[in-house]
Structure 1
């Protein structure tokens, strides 16, 4: 396979995902969808269709393959490593008041939507099932670490661990993982009509979520970029994925495992980071800038990353 064919196959994975994001931008500009639609659709995805997708992917999965303990342990360790690398760098280069937002933007990825969409496109059922378990793990870590770091650099804020634990326990995505595991572990089958109806409903998830991501992007906020937002975006989309993926390869991960890890590491900053910053009275505009820049960068950086990994023969 020559380089052109390899690159074309890489685009077959990434372009469908990011085409939906750019479609969302276009539909918003045409006025065919508005903020009310985005708000309602985003809530539907988070509370219903995405949990259904995760549940069904795990019910169909071979747990002996999807439940990869070394993969999950490395992913957790790498997430902590990314958090502390971002924190260390911020202590030397970022103004005190903006450090928490910079750090959250640099380590908190949109694994639940963009990561899963790319994993499904690249690895099918394995990507969805193994990726769903990683999503359940990382949601816990993202919420706890984000509140901790934002409270550290936000005057007058304290870390409310009771609230954090409550939000984690009530998170629909985590609940869907926990509910699905017994079905998978004991090979409990559901009626065919339930699975078919569930597949219809779950199939709404990725296109609807990606369109909503595009519709919420603000081109004007990208124009009003700041050095802090650009720095956090480069850390999120280039520096940390390279370091983490290289570390995974050194430790022996390859093929589907390494590819899945890269897709999750390279996902753009999660939209939930804006909500958390705003709720804690921080610089919401900076958080929005980071989300917009990383999302726009992702179409290029992830495509080039997958191409490089395939060229090296690592995935």
Structure 2
């Protein structure tokens, strides 16, 4: 396969995802969608369609393949390592008041939407089922570690573990994983009409979520706190994905497993990070800038990353 064919194949994976993000930017500028639509659609995705998508993908999955314990353990360990490395870097390079936001923006990826969309585009059912389990793992860590980082540098804030535990237990994505596991483990059949209806409903998830991500991006807001936001974005989209993927390859991951890990490592900063910063009265402009920059950078960095991995023959 020539380099041109290899790059074209890579674009077939990434362009459909990021085209929807840029479509969201365009629709918002045209005034065809507004803030009320974005709020409602985002809530629908988070509370209903995305959990349905994860549930159906796991119900159809072969758990002997999807329940890859070494993969899940490595992903959890890598996430913790990314968190600690970001914190260490922020301690020496970032102003005190902005360190918590920097850490969260640098390690917390949008795995539930962008990562899962890329995984589905690249690996189909395997990407959805294994990715759904990885999402369940990482949600637990993202929520707990983000609160720790933000509370450490935000005056008057403390780490409220009861609140963290409540958010984790009631998280729709985690509930979708937990409800699906018995059906997959014991091969409990569901009526075909229910599966088809579920597919119709779940098919709304990725295009709707990606459009909403694009529609929330603000180009004008990116002018403020540029240096810190750019530093966090480079950490999130370049440094951590490269180091983590090389570590995964070094310990023996390859093929679909390595590709899936890269897609999740290279996902842009999660929109949920903005919500957490706003809840504690932090610098929401900086949080929004990191989300915007990483999302725009992802269209290039993810494409180049997949191309490099395929060129090396690792995936």
- Name the TM-score class by shorter chain: over 0.9
Q: Give matches, 1:8-87, under 5 Å.
A: 8-87=8-87
2:101 corresponds to 1:101: yes
Q: Give matches, 1:160-175, under 5 Å.
A: 160-175=160-175
1:8 is displaced (CA, Å) by 0.3
1:221 is displaced (CA, Å) by 1.6
Q: Give matches, 1:148-163, under 5 Å.
A: 148-163=148-163
- State the TM-score, normalized to the length of structure 2: 0.99
CA distance in 2, matches of 1:197, 1:13: 26
Task: Tell me the residue number matched to 1:182.
Answer: 182
Task: Tell me the residue number matched to 2:285.
Answer: 285
Task: Tell me the residue number matched to 2:311.
Answer: 311
CA distance in 2, matches of 1:280, 1:131: 30
Q: Give matches, 1:189-228, under 5 Å.
A: 189-228=189-228
Number of corresponding residues: 315
Q: CA RMSD in A?
A: 0.5
Any idea what the Cα deviations from partners look like across 1:38-63, whole Å, max 9, x if unmatched? 00000000000000000000000000
2:236 corresponds to 1:236: yes
Task: Tell me the residue number matched to 1:90.
Answer: 90
Any idea what the Cα deviations from partners look like across 1:199-223, whole Å, max 9, x if unmatched? 0000000000000000000011223
Task: Tell me the residue number matched to 2:146.
Answer: 146
Q: Please, which runs of 5 or more residues in structure 2 have no aligned partner?
A: none
1:281 is displaced (CA, Å) by 1.1
CA distance in 2, matches of 1:47, 1:142: 18
Task: Tell me the residue number matched to 1:248.
Answer: 248
CA distance in 2, matches of 1:252, 1:141: 24
1:224 is displaced (CA, Å) by 3.3
Task: Tell me the residue number matched to 2:299.
Answer: 299
Q: 1:169/1:287 Cα in 2 relative to 1: closer, same or farther (>3 Å)? A: same
- State the TM-score, normalized to the length of structure 1: 0.99
CA distance in 2, matches of 1:76, 1:103: 17
Q: Please, which runs of 5 or more residues in structure 1 have no aligned partner?
A: none
CA distance in 2, matches of 1:188, 1:95: 54
Task: Tell me the residue number matched to 1:111.
Answer: 111
CA distance in 2, matches of 1:122, 1:275: 30
CA distance in 2, matches of 1:294, 1:162: 31
Any idea what the Cα deviations from partners look like across 1:74-114, whole Å, max 9, x if unmatched? 00000000000000111110011000000000000000000
1:225 is displaced (CA, Å) by 4.8
